[in-house]
Amino acid sequence: MKSKLYTLLAAFFVVLAFAVVLPAKSYAGELVIADFDTGDKPNNIGGDFGGWDKDPNDETQSTQLSFEPDDALGDPAGYSIRLDYDVDSPNPAYNGFWMKLNGEDATAYNTLTFYIKGDNNAGFTKRIKLELKDMSNKPSPYIVTGITDQWKKITIPFEKFRRISDWKSMNEFVIIFDDINSNPKTGTIFVDQIALSNE
């Protein structure tokens, strides 16, 4: 009788342990790098970010960054970032968005995720180039295609970023608009909820 009670108790604690441990584990499977929900810098891991331009003196091309009260996860108090790009220039043109990853250790994760959409009024490219860099600063490129005017989650396994050699210490996430991949050459793209996850 007594041993039956112990068995029941043991079973109860095993179930309890799973109930407590499993959700905690899946929660720890994601690191949000930037949700932009403060509507300000820095990102969630203390990293700076902004728009960049191949030639800041060339007024015919740029990416302007601003915060947009349109959150990818539907939070009414949240924000995304709005990138107004222009690679329509008589000169070679490329520009975009950069964000520091502050030496973050990514070895507990295997996937980069974020949300993206375009703006119908301004027009938008369906295709952008990304780069991820570790501290060696070698750009590891990836082309994102199929952007629409609705929020879409992009999921990229780490092995697509072939030139990253040290996932222990990440430096930078970059979005590039250029006069080859960007069509139309001026437009607006929204980005939100950049994260590392374990899928």
* Residue 53 touching Ca ion (CB under 5 A): no
β-pairing, 111-118 with 49-53? Answer: unpaired
Maximum Cα–Cα distance across the chain: 88
- Min. distance of Cβ 79 from Ca ion in angstroms? 5
95 Cβ partners below 8 Å, 6+ apart?
51, 52, 53, 54, 61, 62, 63, 85, 86, 87, 176, 177
Residue among 94 and 161 whose Cβ is closer to Ca ion: 94
- Min. distance of Cβ 63 from Ca ion in angstroms? 11
Q: What are the phi and psi torsion angles at 27 (to 5°)?
A: -65, -40
* Residue 60 touching Ca ion (CB under 5 A): yes
* Residue 134 touching Ca ion (CB under 5 A): no
Judge whether 167 and 158 are in contact, CB under 8 Å. yes
Tokens read off for 165: 């050699």
Size of the site for Ca ion (CB under 5 A): 9
- Min. distance of Cβ 134 from Ca ion in angstroms? 26
Residue among 33 and 164 whose Cβ is closer to Ca ion: 33
Q: Which stretch binds Ca ion (CB under 5 A): 67-75, 111-119, 160-168, 175-183?
A: 67-75
Which residues make beta-bridge pairs with 82?
Answer: 66, 190
Quick one: which of 60, 152, 162, 168 has its CA closest to 113? 152
* Residue 105 touching Ca ion (CB under 5 A): no
Residue among 44 and 169 whose Cβ is closer to Ca ion: 44
* Residue 68 touching Ca ion (CB under 5 A): no
- Min. distance of Cβ 118 from Ca ion in angstroms? 17
Residues within the interface to Ca ion (CB under 5 A): 35-37, 60, 71, 78, 86, 88, 192
